Amino acid sequence: MEDEVDRLVAAWRRERPDLDVEPLEVLSRVSRLARHLDRARRLAFSEHQLEPWEFDVLTSLRRAGAPYQLSPGQLLTQTLVTSGTMTNRIDRLTKKGLVERLPDPSDRRGVLVRLTPEGRDRADEALAGLLAQERAILAQLSRAQRGELAALLRRLTAPFDNIPG
């Protein structure tokens, strides 16, 4: 089946036959799919009164394991936002009672963000819902195809995740 990127690439080949737009076949699809996923996630989380950004922070803490705490800096590398954004997110989650801020005992510059019991429950509930939704989206592919797709994507993400990025 055709998608919007097929149309986009065809249009460029018509308008700019001098350019090789092959890269768009992959990377425009990645960007557009991510936006579609954002919308779908927003909808799925609204049942749990959670915003996508709240989910991202809470689950980062959740999968760190007991006692469910990370530094703001560690949260940055997981969520790919700036430090100003993370400060703001922690403030708002604290006000909602889903996380709390603790001083880092080993570094007085540092702070530890800890999940509250309610925050943990909310994260667990929302995760189950998200996985169900994502499974439905991925039903377009066989198990083997999903594995292949994951492996190909890893080759593109790894350089960003490992080098300073």
Measured from the CB atom, the residue of 48 and 92 that comes closer to DNA is: 92
Measured from the CB atom, the residue of 103 and 117 that comes closer to its own copies is: 117
C-alpha to C-alpha distance for 46 and 49, rounded to whole angstroms: 5
| Nearby residues of 138 by Cβ (< 8 Å), 6 or more positions away | 146
Q: Would you say the C-alpha torsion 86, 134, 68, 153 has a positive or negative sign?
A: negative
Tokens of 139: 């039903």
* Contact of residue 33 among its own copies, DNA, none (CB under 5-8 Å per partner type): its own copies
Number of H helices, E strands in the chain: 7, 3
* Contact of residue 83 among its own copies, DNA, none (CB under 5-8 Å per partner type): DNA
Q: Would you say the C-alpha torsion 135, 79, 52, 6 has a positive or negative sign?
A: negative
Residues 4-63 that bind DNA (CB under 7 A): 39, 42, 51, 53
* Contact of residue 77 among DNA, its own copies, none (CB under 5-8 Å per partner type): its own copies
Chain contacts with its own copies (rule: CB under 8 A) = 1-6, 8, 11-12, 14-16, 19-27, 29-39, 62-65, 77-78, 80, 124, 127-128, 131, 134-135, 137-138, 140-141, 145-150, 152-162, 165
